Every structure is written in structure tokens, then in C-alpha cells.
Amino acid sequence: MTLGSDVSGMTATAASAAAKGLSIVVPVYNEAAGLDGLHQRICDLAKTLRQRYRLACEVVYVDDGSADATLSIARSLPADAVDVQVVSLSRNFGKEAALMAGLDHARLGAVMFMDGDGQHPPDLVEQLVRHWIDDGYDVVYTAKAHRDNEPFLRRVAVHGFYALINWGARQKIPEDAGDFRLLSPRAVAALRQLPERNRFFKGLASWIGFRQIRVDYEPAPRTHGVTTFSAARLLGLSIEGVTSFSVAPLRFASLLGVILAGGAFLFGLSILWEVWTTGKQVPGYPSLVIGLMTIGGVQLIMIGIVGEYIGKILSELKARPIYFVAEHSEKRFETDKADD
Ligand code: UDP
Ligand code: MG
């Protein structure tokens, strides 16, 4: 692996890009209504990339146990300018697992993650590809340009989440970064080497390092349907993300313990001082109850936090596969037709 930071390195990157290609991984869960339209846009994009960068493209649709016609529609999509793989999981495993399945099946070197609901505009892909091929970046990630249209509480929660997960971290996860990202072949190889089962792609893609660049974009509205990520599910994902990625909550627990113990010690000293100087009996009942309740509550929360980590250790230890593939089909695009 070369660093690719000097001119010759970049030429090498461009050359290998031309020799290989780009796998677009699209997780789809009940996206039947918009899939045809999305595929059409991806095919148009693939034609452009083939002409301008001599880049071969493949699209990997990962059907995450959809209950509607998503799978049959995906199977019927034509290999027009792209190779099409359809990987159908045995049930709904969640988006992170679907992305992992896509990553495992991607064959063409570089990988691009894109949502199946039309919110990640294929038109932006060319810009991301340019950063990879022309500028030699390894991780080209996109971030929401702004969150003006989101409720205030949600913005506060998101900010708190990133503050917590990045607390004390050497490699910070960029705030607002989404799953819409392009990974160069060596970044893909690095991601594939990570052995953990609890995956949080935004975090991992940042953690691997290499040359990274941010591209701001405005997410399009969903072409159909509604989001599957409710507030409760987002909270679950946040706990998942933080516990599988950082030990900040544990450190926070220790710190809080030190602060509380210190406070209690000072409080004890002040009582001693009062008794000593005034000779009065200090009425103890309310302060006792408050002290007990504070310590009791804090301890329960901290046991809960430790429990989250123990749960994580258990699931890593069980070492179960992240997903099962029920069906896999593929269609190859005949390259000779393209060269006519
Ligand atoms: N998705 C998935 N499995 C799930 C939930 C969602 O593969 O269990 C896919 C979904 O089809 C879409 C992407 O993940 O392509 C993002 O989902 P969604 O649009 O609901 O999330 P949001 O854009 O609101 O974050
Ligand atoms: Mg969406």
C-alpha cells in the first residue's frame, strides 16, 4: 500500500480506479415504491462514470427482510450499464447489518453506501468519485449542510450524542456525517479487517483514518413512504453506537463517582465543623434522605451503563454471524455493448 499523497501516488490511484471500479451498496427495506426510479438514476450515473472515468460499476441491493415486493422488483431490475447483485437476508437485521452484507458482497474495489429511499441523490456521486479518483481521498463522506428543518430537541439530542461519543476520543466522528459515503479500495480493505460484530459504520469509517474529506449536501425528501427510524429507534442506535465505540460513559461514571464522593466528604467536614464550633446537634433526617437517594439513583444508572457494556461483551463473545443470506442473484452487464 502506498500513501498516494504525492503526484505519482495519485496517478497510481487513478490508474487502479480505472482498472477496477465502484460497487454501490444500497440497503433496501420496504422500498418497493421507489426502487425502479432509483435504479434508473443509478444506471444513468453508471453510464456517466463509465464515459468520464472509465469506471466499471456494480450495484448491490441488500434486501433487509422486506415485507413488500421489494425483493421481486430488485430481481427484475436490468443490468443496464451496471452489474446488479441482489442479496436477500433471511429476516430484517437492521441497516448496519445490511450495509455489512453489501460490503461483503461488493466486488469492484471501491464501495459507495447509498440509501434506497432516494434521499441520497445519485447526482452527487460524481462529485464524490472525483474526490477519490482525482484528489486521491480514501473516505469521502457526506454531511447534512444544516439541520434547520429539524425540531430543536432533536438537534440538542444529536449534539449531546456526538459530544459524548467524541469525549476523549483521539479520532473524532464528524458531527452530522451520514451513511452516504465512498470508500477507496484500501479503506474498504481496512473496514473488512475489523472483527467486531456490533458495527457502527459512521464511527468505524472515521476510525480507520486515511485521507478523509467532507462534502456538505442537502438530503432530498424521501421519494415515498416514511422513515423507519423513530425517536425510540434512534435512541437505541445511539446507545448502540456509543457503547460499541467509546468508553466515555464508563469514564463519566467514574468521574461522577469521584465528584459525589468528594462532595459527600466536604459535606461531612462541614457538619463536623458546625458541631464543633456551635455545639448544636445538626438535624440530619432530610440531608440523610437526599444523600441516600442521590447515591442510590446514581448507582443504579451506573450499573445500567456497565450492564450495557457487559451485554456488548456477551454478544461479541457469542460471535454469531451478523446476518444470513437467504438468496443471492446477479446479472452481469455485457461490457462489449458499452464500447459500441
Ligand atoms: N433500512 C434497512 N433496514 C432497516 C431499516 C432501514 O435496510 O431495518 C434501509 C432503508 O431501506 C433505507 C435506509 O436504510 O434505504 C435508510 O432508512 P430510512 O430512510 O428509514 O432512514 P433515515 O433516512 O430516516 O435515516
Ligand atoms: Mg431515509
Give one DSSP letter per residue of 107-165, joined into a string: -SEEEEE--TTS-S-GGGHHHHHHHHHTT--SEEEEEES--TTS-HHHHHHHHHHHHHH
- Measured in Å, residue 209 CA sits from the centre of ligand 1 at 26
Convert the pLDDT of each residue in 226-236 to its tens digit.
Answer: 777 777 888 88
- Measured in Å, residue 6 CA sits from the centre of ligand 1 at 39
Q: Ligand 1 atom 18: the closest Cα is on which residue?
A: 227
Model confidence at 340, in pLDDT bands (50, 70, 90)? very low
- Specify burial of residue 170 (Cβ count, 10 A radius: 0-12, 13-18, 19+): exposed
Asked if residue 31 has its Cβ within 6 Å of ligand 1, the reply is yes
pLDDT at residue 14 greater than cutoff 60: no
Asked if residue 102 has its Cβ within 6 Å of ligand 1, the reply is no
Asked if residue 230 has its Cβ within 6 Å of ligand 1, the reply is no
Report the alpha-carbon distance of residue 84 to residue 335 in Å, rounded: 13
Q: Which atom, in ligand 1's list, is nearest to the CA of 226?
A: 20
Confidence (pLDDT) at 337: 53
Q: Ligand 1 atom 19: the closest Cα is on which residue?
A: 227
Report the alpha-carbon distance of residue 205 to residue 173 in Å, rounded: 9
Asked if residue 95 has its Cβ within 6 Å of ligand 1, the reply is yes
Convert the pLDDT of each residue in 235-253 to its tens digit.
Answer: 887 888 888 777 778 878 8
Kindly state the DSSP code that residue 255 receives in the 8-state scheme.
H
Model confidence at 311, in pLDDT bands (50, 70, 90)? confident
pLDDT at residue 8 greater than cutoff 50: no
Confidence (pLDDT) at 16: 52
Closest ligand to residue 25's CA: 1
Asked if residue 39 has its Cβ within 6 Å of ligand 1, the reply is no
Asked if residue 185 has its Cβ within 6 Å of ligand 1, the reply is no
Task: Give mean pLDDT, residues 196-207.
Answer: 80
Asked if residue 114 has its Cβ within 6 Å of ligand 1, the reply is no
Convert the pLDDT of each residue in 53-97 to its tens digit.
Answer: 888 899 999 999 999 899 999 999 888 888 899 999 999 998 889
Confidence (pLDDT) at 332: 84
Confidence (pLDDT) at 10: 43
pLDDT at residue 338 greater than cutoff 70: no
Task: Give mean pLDDT, residues 142-153.
Answer: 79
Confidence (pLDDT) at 58: 93
Phi first, then psi, for residue 127 (nearest 5°) are -65, -40
Q: Helices in the chain by DSSP H: which ranges?
A: 7-19, 32-53, 70-76, 95-105, 125-133, 152-165, 185-193, 201-207, 231-245, 248-278, 285-318, 335-339
Convert the pLDDT of each residue in 112-131 to its tens digit.
Answer: 999 988 888 888 888 899 89
Confidence (pLDDT) at 22: 92
Kindly state the DSSP code that residue 168 receives in the 8-state scheme.
T
Pocket test for ligand 1, best of 96, 228, 237 (most atoms within 8 A of CB): 228
Mean pLDDT score of the chain, rounded to an integer?
82
For the chain, the residue count is 340
Model confidence at 301, in pLDDT bands (50, 70, 90)? confident
Beta bridge partners of residue 317, listed in sequence order: none
Model confidence at 170, in pLDDT bands (50, 70, 90)? confident
Task: Give pTM, 2 decimals.
Answer: 0.76
Give the distance from CA 90 to its chain's centroid: 22
- Measured in Å, residue 228 CA sits from the centre of ligand 2 at 8
Confidence (pLDDT) at 209: 87
Nearest CA among 182, 177, 166, 227 for reference residue 202: 177
Q: What is the CB neighbour count within 10 angstroms for residue 87?
A: 24
Confidence (pLDDT) at 228: 73
Closest ligand to residue 102's CA: 1
Residue 148 vs residue 46, higher pLDDT: 46
Residue 258 vs residue 133, higher pLDDT: 133
Window from 59-68, 96-105, 151-160, 285-294 with minimum mean pLDDT: 285-294
- Specify burial of residue 180 (Cβ count, 10 A radius: 0-12, 13-18, 19+): buried
Confidence (pLDDT) at 138: 92
**Percent of the chain at pLDDT above 70?**
92
Report the alpha-carbon distance of residue 165 to residue 150 in Å, rounded: 21
Pocket test for ligand 1, best of 115, 149, 154 (most atoms within 8 A of CB): 115
Report the alpha-carbon distance of residue 301 to residue 307 in Å, rounded: 10
Residues less than 5 Å from ion ligand 2, measured at CB: 115, 117, 119
Q: Which atom, in ligand 1's list, is nearest to the CA of 30?
A: 11
- Measured in Å, residue 31 CA sits from the centre of ligand 1 at 9
- Measured in Å, residue 111 CA sits from the centre of ligand 2 at 19
